[in-house]
Copies of this chain bind each other. A is one copy, B any other.
Amino acid sequence: MLKHLKKKVYEANMQLPQYGLVTFTWGNVSGIDRDRGLFVIKPSGVDYDKLKPEDMVVMDLKGNKVEGDLNPSSDTKTHLELYNCFPQIGGIVHTHSPWATSWAQAGRDIPCYGTTHADYIYGSIPCVRNLTKEELDEDYELNTGILIADVFEERKLDCMAVPCVLCKNHGPFTWGTDAFNAVHNAVVLEEVAKMAAQCEWINPQAEPAPQCLQDKHYLRKHGPGAYYGQGN
């Protein structure tokens, strides 16, 4: 079942240690088949060097396990909620990558200090608040997803233009058109988070990039007038 997607999600999971984004089992990738309404996710707490494509767990969009011998990632309900709220996305990544997690621990949005950021992410990267004790007790992982979606709605953010978020005192989630693209955005986020911290270190009064430069770079790569790349 979903053999092709399982292989893809497995390979995307294996990219996390290759890109230096995870220590031990601190990360997970999922990918969705929108036609069938099913998503595939890494099992919980399995070492990357022991992971196999057939270990991937298949879930439906109500949170039922449809196939798989292992328990799905403990963050599965967050993935589920994001798939339900953001219908355009095809893959999700959660990691504890060091620089993005440091910003999440610091509880700050990451300002757009340059074109590396603007090439992929339109505007600041939001850091959402802590859940209340009640939200935690009720359903920690599900309420994390709900909170992210609420913040995107409140701030009028397009999930495809801002493909990442920080959860305060926890770490980042990123997403994309599919599992590989979500991993790509996780790499971008870590690099952007590192350079934003270094930028403030070098100049504590640093200002975000001018809006016209942010627009120029984002639109150079995205939308109808894009001219970066080979036009595929």
| Known contacts A113-B169, A203-B106; A195/B230 CB under 8 A | no
Question: Are B198 and A114 within 8 A (Cβ)?
Answer: no
- Kindly report which residue of chain B lies nearest to residue A96, judged by CB atoms: B116
Contact with B along A180-203 (1 / 0, CB 8 A): 000010011001001111111111
Q: Which of A115-145 contact B (CB under 8 A)?
A: 115-116, 130-131, 133, 136-137, 140
Cross-interface CB contact of A101 among B43, B102, B116, B130, cutoff 8 Å: B116
| Known contacts A23-B187, A108-B203, A195-B98; A114/B227 CB under 8 A | no
Question: Chain copies in the assembly?
Answer: 4
Q: Which of A158-183 contact B (CB under 8 A)?
A: 169-171
| Known contacts A213-B169, A228-B74; A198/B197 CB under 8 A | yes
A27 CB to closest chain B CB (Å) equals 11
Cross-interface CB contact of A114 among B45, B170, B206, cutoff 8 Å: B170
Max chain B Cβ within 10 angstroms of own Cβ: one of A46, A140, A229: A229
| Known contacts A71-B230, A203-B108; A198/B113 CB under 8 A | no
Contact with B along A210-232 (1 / 0, CB 8 A): 10110010001000000111110
Max chain B Cβ within 10 angstroms of own Cβ: one of A136, A198, A230: A198
Interface size on A, residues (CB 8 A): 61
Cross-interface CB contact of A102 among B24, B169, B195, cutoff 8 Å: B195
Which residues of B sit under 8 angstroms from A115, Cβ to Cβ?
A: 96, 169-171
Does A15 reach chain B (CB closer than 8 Å)? no
* Complex A-B: 28 CB contacts under 8 Å: A23-B187, A23-B188, A24-B187, A44-B229, A44-B230, A46-B230, A70-B230, A71-B229, A74-B228, A96-B116, A99-B198, A101-B114, A104-B114, A105-B114, A105-B206, A106-B199, A106-B202, A107-B206, A108-B203, A114-B170, A116-B171, A130-B210, A131-B213, A136-B212, A137-B212, A169-B210, A197-B201, A200-B202
